[in-house]
Structure 1
């Protein structure tokens, strides 16, 4: 299948928000604390898109997943309890979510590989991300794609596991 990874537009917001709401409910059903505090919300998605950070994975005209991607724009990462693998520029992504009807197809991995390509096109050779300790799906993807555990970072009062992958 041919996927496209493109910048999201304002017209994509209703579909993106539906996908994120599905993911929030899945996290809750899994017994996770992640995304159960009113974040992410529609205002966050609108801000992502206004800032040029929102990206969608599509097949044809169908949006399959959403994420926010940025360079060096994560202040919480400066205070890691641990150590990053690199000290230079990095791409960071947040809010990875796949449409419920598309689960089990490896799309989260496909999207993370697209982010790696995006990083290299921007001449950045480090990709960083974090997730909750109780998100086994994302933890497994990090392991599968060769990310290294670097320590903990803190968001909204909660510790998150932080990972980095150095790209060639």
Structure 2
């Protein structure tokens, strides 16, 4: 980890770690749970901050002491990466959902999504056990540089006043140095197996192609078989990322014709 990154993490309240944690893209950052805010004994939860998510945290609008991220060199100055409106998607059995951009006031909705997901699904997404609560993690996931980061939530418009909440989220973070991006997808545990993950992956790849990216990448825990199957179905190539083989990097090349996933992949 470079000196500038260590300094920035300390300013955000995250200790700069040495050794294996500093070399691991899934290095941990600490946030305090709400019990501490109420004056009781401090408790801490360890959450993983992947490389692209660490950059997002440093670019948060609340972090005014840090420089903003630059527009990627491969994008024209007039380019706007943000989704402009809701969009309909169709998942398993013809169910019609809608996608909308993640908002800065979505922290509570993301917590509810976490509460309706299994602890293991949260661990697979964030690389370590996470207790859903408003804090650094929700700030990082809602307050980000929208010129470099696209994030949308899936919801069911048929649910009364959005009572079903956020069903899934897909993110794409644009590289500043090259026409590449890093993506992440999470589907709420009770929505898995109905095609939402497949639809979110297709949506993300559409954003990437619209912006002339050459490839997209993701870091996935080796044991996250569902996500690995989904990425491979879209042409993803995997390779170990760390010496202990805990994480795998998946790369999807975007040149040529898009891959046509199998029917099994469409149920992800």
TM-score of the alignment, normalized to the shorter chain, above 0.5: yes
1:6 to 77, 84, 100: 100
Aligned position for 2:120: 26
The structure with the largest alpha-carbon Rg is 2
Aligned residue number for residue 44 of structure 1 = 137
Does 2:174 match 1:71? Answer: yes
Counterparts of 2:111 and 2:125, CA distance in 1? 19
CA–CA separation in structure 1 for the residues paired with 2:248 and 2:227: 11
Question: 8 Å contact 1:16–1:66 — kept in the other structure?
Answer: no
CA distance change for structure 1 residues 158 and 41 in 2, over 3 Å: closer, same or farther?
Answer: farther
Quickly say closer, same or farther: Cα 1:101–1:113, change in 2 above 3 A.
same
- In the alignment, structure 2 segments of 5+ residues that lack a partner are 1-89, 91-95, 256-268
Cα RMSD of the aligned pairs, angstroms, is 3.3
1:167 aligns with 2:260: no
Structure 1 residue runs of 5 or longer lacking an equivalent are 74-86
Higher relative contact order (Cα pairs below 8 Å, separated by 6+ residues): 1
Equivalent residue runs for 1:149-160 within 5 Å: 149-152=238-241, 159-160=246-247
Give the total of aligned pairs: 150
C-alpha distance in 1, partners of 2:138/2:214? 26
User: Of 210, 215, 223, which aligns to 1:134?
Assistant: 223
Counterpart secondary structure, 1:63: coil
Secondary structure of the corresponding residue to residue 140 of structure 1: helix
Alpha-carbon distance in 1 for matches of 2:125, 2:208: 30
Query: Which one has a larger percent strand, Structure 1 or Structure 2?
Result: 1
Q: TM-score, normalised by structure 2?
A: 0.47
**Partner of residue 109, structure 1:** 198
